[in-house]
Amino acid sequence: GTLLALSKPPGLPILGRPGDLSLDLLLPALRRRLGLAAELHVVKAPAREYSGLVLLSSCYHTTKKLQQFFTNARLRGQYPATYRAVTVGVPAEVEGEIRTGLCWQQHGDRAMVKGCHWSGATGGTPGSAEGCALQVVPVPAPGRRSLARKDVKSTLTRYRVLGAVGSCALLQLQPRTAFPEQLQVHLTLLLCPALGDHEHSSCVGRVLGVPFFLTPETAPTRTQVLDEELLSRLGLSPRWLHRLPLHIHLQELMLP
């Protein structure tokens, strides 16, 4: 009755800057088209770069109840959201878990940027000082103090390989924690970056065809590099690679 589900294309933000197209800007028109009396609220939505399910509600109490449900489900060790991803590379194991600390770091500087806030509900990016370029980086063995101060967040994603063709795989991803860009970083730690990840894929290098992990400090951000065979399969010219969208899709949400 009060719930509405949409499928969002990649690149559409939930909240945009003034003058930019965003889902929030489209909600009044959607409400009029569907003839709804009440205002629509975003319950759960994928990050700007992701595609997939957007859950809306026309009841404020339902929105808050469901958002609390998603939070409580993760705290109970459940996985309320299921994603699909196309990866460049096939994981060595068919299924498993990726555990690591994640934090925001000033680009090109090892000192962490503190005082940043992020939205786990929508996967938004943190607020930052003007001119401060931030990136999400893994912290393999975070200390207790950094976790207690919330400088670093302990994160976990469960994955399963659903299929593989050539050098690509289709993965099911179930994050138990919510941190911006968590899935992209976890996939690079698996040495299988998401197709269309122009932010983190440079952290996976290759020597004689064998992948290895490069720290963000030694791997400048660049357009994802794909081999000729994959480019041919995609029907893409290298000059248009920067337009290839991120292939991570919010496939399913668990409801109470």
State residue 84 phi and psi, 5-degree precision.
-120, 145
Is residue 196 within 8 A of residue 226, CB to CB? The reply is no
- Parse the chain into domains and list their residue ranges: 3-84, 86-253
State pTM to two decimals.
0.86
What is the predicted pLDDT for the residue at 31?
92
What is the predicted pLDDT for the residue at 132?
52
In terms of phi and psi (left: phi > 0; alpha: psi -120 to 50; beta: otherwise), the region of 102 is: beta
Residue 33's Cα: distance from chain center in Å? 30
CA angle in degrees (0–180, nearest 5) for 191-197-202:
55
pLDDT tens-place values along the chain, 256 residues long: 789 999 999 999 999 888 889 999 999 999 999 999 899 999 999 999 999 999 999 999 999 999 999 999 999 999 999 999 999 999 999 999 999 999 998 865 444 443 333 333 344 444 433 445 788 999 988 888 888 888 899 999 999 999 999 899 999 999 999 999 999 999 999 999 999 999 999 999 888 888 989 988 888 889 999 989 999 999 998 899 999 999 999 999 999 9
Is residue 53 within 8 A of residue 29, CB to CB? The reply is no
What is the predicted pLDDT for the residue at 217?
83
Cα separation, 188 vs 126, in Å, equals 21
Cα separation, 150 vs 144, in Å, equals 10
Give the chain's end-to-end CA distance (angstroms, integer). Answer: 15
23 exposure class (CB count in 10 Å sphere: 0-12, 13-18, 19+): buried
Cα separation, 177 vs 71, in Å, equals 9
CATH topology classification for 3-84: Pseudouridine synthase (3.30.2350)
The candidate with the shortest Cα–Cα distance to 182, out of 110, 119, 252, is: 119
What is the predicted pLDDT for the residue at 105?
87
DSSP string computed for 40-88: PEEEE---TT-EEEEEEES-HHHHHHHHHHHHHHHHTT---EEEEEEEE
Rg of the chain (C-alpha set): 19
Enumerate the H helices of the chain as residue ranges: 23-34, 60-75, 144-148, 182-189, 228-234
Is residue 134 within 8 A of residue 105, CB to CB? The reply is yes
What is the greatest pairwise CA distance in the chain?
Answer: 61
What is the predicted pLDDT for the residue at 219?
86
What is the predicted pLDDT for the residue at 108?
53
Cα separation, 198 vs 222, in Å, equals 6
